[in-house]
Structure 1
Amino acid sequence: MNPPLAALYPQHLATVRGHADHALALAGFDHLLVAAGTPPGKFLDDQDYPFVANPHFRHWLPLTDAPGSWIAYTPGAKPRLVFVQPRDYWHVVPEAPHGYWVEHFDVVIVRSAAEAVAQLPKGRNAVITPACPAVDGVEANNPQAVLDCLHWHRSFKTPYELALMREANRIGARAHRAAEAAFRAGESEFGIHMAYLAAARQIDAELPYASIVGLNEHGAVLHYTHFDRTPPRGHRSFLIDAGASCAGYASDITRTYAADGHAGFQALIDSMDVAQRGFAAKVRPGQSYPELHVHAHHVLAGVLREHGFIRMSAESAVESGVTGAFFPHGLGHSIGVQVHDVAGFQQSERGGSIPRPAGHPYLRTTRVLQPGMVVTIEPGLYFIDMLLAGLRDRPVAADIDWAKVDAFRPYGGIRIEDDVVCTDGEPENLTRDAFAAA
């Protein structure tokens, strides 16, 4: 049985405060001011875009609906939450803060953003807030030295954060089950998405990212977010990349399904699933993520060869760029309070950047894995016309079975994605555990 959040939160906050102390001392600031932010306005309109709280704000406390509010922290003192609760009959006014975390803050409730700013300390302030929209009376300086330090340490999740990410995966797994059932029932992409939202009990604005729901050849569009309202004439395949949120923390889950009677595509999915599980098992301390990504290319070259798409060796397929045409994105990325979490390329708490390996421009992390880090593992195989066309005029085309490729183009592609925790021993697969519980 997992400890309750109330038991885990004090140590999490102590860890966050410790990192703030260190970052402020490193950069020469007296106070840390973290804005929740405000929703940006729509151009030439009197409406706003949906509000998404600053991830630095959400890292301190599980408060996602607090536009205009601030956290003010001075080392050695209790952190202060300046909470904006406006007098407003046009919109729902945010509830006064409550819950297991409130006792750990000095909470001040004000009625306007201007009153909130008046409560902030003066002096050498590190102010972390979006530059746009601007906040009157406070200048966003977002000191790079402070951000680098905070981002580096945010790479390592506390037990409290992992508890929230487990729940985000449980919500996501439940919703994925509903989406698969809708696919089996012959629903449109839009209908499947509605089934997903209903099962997650979250609206689009609450999800950590825009869901990808692709039937048939739409699975070949990596970020397909179109949502056809009419079902296709026949359901062949279904790729869904969709997550869920829990107190501001994300899950990022992808599954691919074959319709009944499409055994060849199901066999390819099965091979990809075996490969993906193997990559997830390598999320261990000391594992270079770029090396794992390159290893994935060699394994997927074997899958392509096993299923008759290519006749060349795995080494030749990788070196010649053939695997890159079938698997054009990175193996995964860091995840946490942001879907594509920070510090994926960072060298140390003082910044710096670790370059991607040559020929792999879309890899989203180049770090060496250490306990506490959480990454996605999401290999893919796709039949993308634009990329395949680039192979047809090259000498390697002779070692590709184009008739086989053309037979699979109507299925789009395959991606399987889990959120995996690096521990001191066996990795913890948050997503597989959630599906098993579901």
Structure 2
Amino acid sequence: MDTQHPDLHPLFADHLRTLQARADKALLRGGFDHLVVAAGRPANQFLDDRPYPFAVNPHFKHWLPATKAPDSWIVHTPGRKPKLIYLQPHDYWHVVPDSPAGYWVEHFDIAIIREADEARALLPGDAARCAILGEANAALDGFAPNNPPDVLNYLHYQRSYKTPYELAMMRVASKIGARAHRAAERAFRAGASEFDINIAYMEAARQTDNDLPYGNIIGLNEHAAVLHYMDLAHAPPAQAHSFLIDAGASFHGYASDITRTYAADSAGEFRALVDAVDAAQQGFCARVRAGQSYPELHLHAHRVLGDILKEHGFIRMSGESALEAGVTSTFFPHGLGHPIGLQVHDVAGFQASDSGGTIARPPGHPYLRMTRVLEPGMVVTIEPGLYFIDMLLARLKEQPAAKEVDWARVDAFRRYGGVRIEDDVVCTEGDPENLTRDAFAALA
């Protein structure tokens, strides 16, 4: 198959057959006759008539790439063609959703409705025989989401294994993100503010804040030490030392999640640290293989990053000792990564089996977002980082291990904020596929 320009017709047909087979098993487990998925309904802000940006139910966009069709529904009944109940209102206040078209429409029986309440007559009559997935506000008269755990546990666990169609969508999302990252770096090099870098990113991605899979993190200098910094200062700093950008893109409902860190031309010492983290990160990506425990990979990353801290003069202890003493968690306080797909932080990262259950995080690592063993078809992010966070450094100063820290060296790096490098990586039967590095390489 040509991964650059795949034929989506057979890919989607196979994808849909996979979803139908999974749905059949989920319904059998839950004792239901129909799977019904609500796209969702926009919610208004408190005491206002302004809606929050609409975010489609991820279960809905798993079945078809319609991400802007509020108050629509999908009905799957085993042995039948799936039904799409599609709201296309008569409305002159807002843009009406486009008529269904494209590679996916032939696989659905499509009923167009003009009012949201009209869907009830087209949904199964006995709501008690339906597994209804969605938010509470999607409810119609006598027909409300029940989100049965047995059904959700099975569907969420299976969603970890991406179909070839899904991987094709994620490759495109990665290419869009990589193109926009290049534009953001150019804006940084030209002296732009955080706000203007964000505008450059969105212009290159051709996506607005509401289209992107998450709010862009764009931090200059010490702002890179705030893990989810989103304030977007309008004025550039008097002198730029560093730039961290964590930003993705969306394509047909699937997300990319990419982070890069850059040093200013005058910040050679920081560039050396960025290069060290980048090299380590590529080593971690190479370990995204079937049978690899993700928590063990996370702990391995702590050891390697601890050794980098020693090599660059921040601590005087080995990476292993720094991990055991909790020192590495001061500089690397988040998890190594997370599942990604229909959602940036995709579901079932901790799930023990398709029946449910939870695999606990390693003690002392409360922010790790995945504890499963990697298997072919899974897509995860690999995002190690090293940061100089005032609050965490102040805590470390009160610990016995503080004597192992070169505080003058640490203080000299506070102005850079921190480093994070993040790629989206597919676990395969053999070598991993790095969606992010491939997308940047295609640009070159």
Counterpart position of 1:381: 386
Pairing partner for 1:57 from 56, 60, 71: 60
CA distance in 2, matches of 1:209, 1:79: 30
CA distance in 2, matches of 1:117, 1:237: 55
Do structure 1's residue 190 and structure 2's residue 195 form an aligned pair?
yes
The one-character-per-residue Cα deviations of 1:213-247 (angstroms, maximum 9, x if unpaired) are 00000000000000000011011000000000000
Do structure 1's residue 337 and structure 2's residue 331 form an aligned pair?
no
Shift of 1:132: 3.5
Pairing partner for 2:102 from 96, 99, 103: 99
Pairing partner for 1:397 from 387, 402, 416: 402
Pairing partner for 1:324 from 304, 329, 332: 329
Do structure 1's residue 38 and structure 2's residue 49 form an aligned pair?
no
Do structure 1's residue 211 and structure 2's residue 216 form an aligned pair?
yes
Do structure 1's residue 85 and structure 2's residue 75 form an aligned pair?
no
CA distance in 1, matches of 2:399, 2:86: 61
Counterpart position of 1:276: 281
| Percent identical | 67
Shift of 1:122: 2.0
Shift of 1:137: 3.6
CA distance in 2, matches of 1:161, 1:117: 31
What secondary structure does 1:132 align onto?
helix
Do structure 1's residue 428 and structure 2's residue 428 form an aligned pair?
no
Shift of 1:114: 0.4
- 8 Å Cα contact 1:345/1:354 also seen in 2: yes
What secondary structure does 1:408 align onto?
helix
Counterpart position of 1:346: 351
| TM-score, L = length of structure 1 | 0.99
CA distance in 2, matches of 1:17, 1:423: 23
Aligned pair in 2 of structure 1 residues 135, 223: CA closer, same or farther (>3 Å)?
farther
- 8 Å Cα contact 1:165/1:251 also seen in 2: yes
Do structure 1's residue 22 and structure 2's residue 25 form an aligned pair?
yes
CA distance in 2, matches of 1:208, 1:215: 22
CA distance in 2, matches of 1:237, 1:185: 13
- Root-mean-square deviation over aligned CA pairs: 0.8
What secondary structure does 1:71 align onto?
strand
Shift of 1:133: 5.6
Counterpart residue identity of residue 272, structure 2: A
Shift of 1:120: 0.2
Do structure 1's residue 170 and structure 2's residue 175 form an aligned pair?
yes
- 8 Å Cα contact 1:70/1:83 also seen in 2: yes
- 8 Å Cα contact 2:72/2:85 also seen in 1: yes
Shift of 1:134: 4.2
CA distance in 2, matches of 1:335, 1:29: 29
The one-character-per-residue Cα deviations of 1:384-419 (angstroms, maximum 9, x if unpaired) are 000000111222111100000000000000000000
Counterpart position of 1:112: 115
Counterpart position of 1:231: 236
- 8 Å Cα contact 2:242/2:264 also seen in 1: yes
What secondary structure does 1:192 align onto?
helix
- 8 Å Cα contact 1:40/1:133 also seen in 2: no
Counterpart position of 2:312: 307
- 8 Å Cα contact 2:281/2:421 also seen in 1: yes
Shift of 1:118: 1.7
Counterpart residue identity of residue 360, structure 1: H
Counterpart residue identity of residue 185, structure 2: E
Shift of 1:335: 0.2
Counterpart position of 2:159: 154
CA distance in 2, matches of 1:370, 1:127: 29
Counterpart residue identity of residue 361, structure 1: P
- 8 Å Cα contact 2:40/2:137 also seen in 1: no
Shift of 1:150: 0.3
CA distance in 2, matches of 1:394, 1:30: 59
- 8 Å Cα contact 2:38/2:138 also seen in 1: no
Counterpart residue identity of residue 306, structure 1: E
Shift of 1:315: 1.6
The one-character-per-residue Cα deviations of 1:263-290 (angstroms, maximum 9, x if unpaired) are 0000000000000000000000000000
Give unmatched runs, 5+ long, in structure 1: none
What secondary structure does 2:136 align onto?
coil
The one-character-per-residue Cα deviations of 1:330-370 (angstroms, maximum 9, x if unpaired) are 00000000000000000111000000000000000000000
- 8 Å Cα contact 1:249/1:337 also seen in 2: yes
Pairing partner for 1:254 from 254, 259, 262: 259
- 8 Å Cα contact 2:65/2:253 also seen in 1: yes
- 8 Å Cα contact 2:35/2:76 also seen in 1: yes
Counterpart residue identity of residue 381, structure 2: T
Counterpart residue identity of residue 182, structure 1: A
Counterpart residue identity of residue 388, structure 2: F
What secondary structure does 2:91 align onto?
coil
Counterpart position of 1:290: 295
CA distance in 2, matches of 1:95, 1:280: 40
| TM-score, L = length of structure 2 | 0.98
Give unmatched runs, 5+ long, in structure 2: none
